[in-house]
Amino acid sequence: MCLRFLIFLVGVNMVLTAAAEEIRIAASDLLADFIDEPLQAYGAQHSIECVLNRIGSLPAMDDLRANAVDLAIIAVPENAAVPSDEFRTYPFAYDAAVIAVNQNNPINEISVSSLGALFGSDEEFDYSSWGDLGLSGWHARSIKLLVGKTDQSISLELFKFSVLAGRPLKSSVAAVKDAEVEHLLISDSASIAILQGLPHSQKIKVLMVSADADSPAFGPTDQNIHYGDYPIRLAFYIVYHPDADERVRELLRTLWSDEMADALRTNDLFPLPDAVRRHLTTHLDARL
């Protein structure tokens, strides 16, 4: 009986220990599904259960303040405050709206105001032909406006927030399935599209975008998006209590890993530039 009782106690202790090894994560529902697999792989490797709660950014912050989670990954719109006074905060990833045309289109860059004049219905200017953008030889060619949409992507809403300040699109903008938008761009050299990520076809050209007519234009690379040079972006931040430093240290390495970066890219998100992720990881022990 004594031996059985000891075995029972050991089993109970193992269950309690396993239950204690848990990290509770609240992640924005805009990216939670995309990071789950690398997190579960991390948990399996370190015998830790990663409990991932898919939730909006504001409820995630409420849960963090209530100590209902150990770490949150939240979306922070441009010009909104990052809660760095209250928590440890680190950059994690970005979403961006990509502007693309047919490769034969001579345009290479465009300003935010010109995008507004093309796509917006309540803007100071109203562009309807490529001649309005100053393209030589294309004066009479009407512009076909496209936007690629999926249930998971917020690229259109991000575009409306960043470019149109929330104002509506023109009724002439054709919303098509993301799987079809590249085909339409390839078949019509006079079209321009808002994409949820970088195009797959080399027959499509991604435009560089400038914040205003007098500023340089930048393409949607990891580097340009991270440093804010590309203007149509949404940032995601890692946020946690300072007293959780030791608890989340190895998890941070996973969030900045190559495997996580690949998972983000596969789902049309932009990870931190490789050099930035290496710097954060190398200096992790000193920073925490």
Position 203 in a domain? yes
Residues 114 and 200 both lie in one domain: yes
pLDDT digits (tens, 9 = 90+) for 97-144: 999 999 999 999 999 999 999 999 988 899 999 999 999 888 889 999
Query: Do 277 and 162 sit in the same domain of this protein?
Result: no
On whether both 90 and 109 belong to a single domain, the answer is no
Q: Which of 185, 205, 226 is the last residue of a domain?
A: 226
Task: Give every residue of the chain whose pLDDT is below 50, as ranges.
Answer: 1-3, 5-10, 12-13, 15-20
What is residue 288's predicted lDDT score, i.e. its pLDDT? 54
23: domain CATH number is 3.40.190.10
What pairing do the DSSP bridges indicate for beta strands 49-55 and 204-206? unpaired
Domain that holds residue 84: 15-94+234-287
Same domain, 77 and 164: no
Q: With respect to residue 7, please indicate whether it lies within any of the assigned structural domains.
A: no
Q: Phi/psi of residue 114, each to 5°?
A: -70, -35
| Domain endpoint, select from 177, 208, 226 | 226
Considering the domain architecture, whether residues 103 and 176 belong to the same structural domain is answered as yes
pLDDT at 7: 47
Total domain count, the chain: 2
Q: What is the pTM of this model?
A: 0.89
Alpha helices, DSSP H, located in the chain: 2-20, 32-46, 57-65, 112-119, 155-162, 178-187, 222-226, 245-255, 258-266, 274-282, 284-287
For position 9, what pLDDT does the model report? 45
Residue 9 counted as domain residue: no
Residues 147 and 262 in one domain: no
| Shared domain check, 105 and 211 | yes
Residues 6+ apart with CB under 8 A from 17: none
142-166 per-position pLDDT tens digit: 999 999 887 777 889 999 999 999 8
1 inside domain: no
Residue 8 located in a structural domain: no
220 and 105, same domain (yes or no): yes
In a domain, 241, yes or no: yes
Is residue 61 assigned to a domain?
A: yes
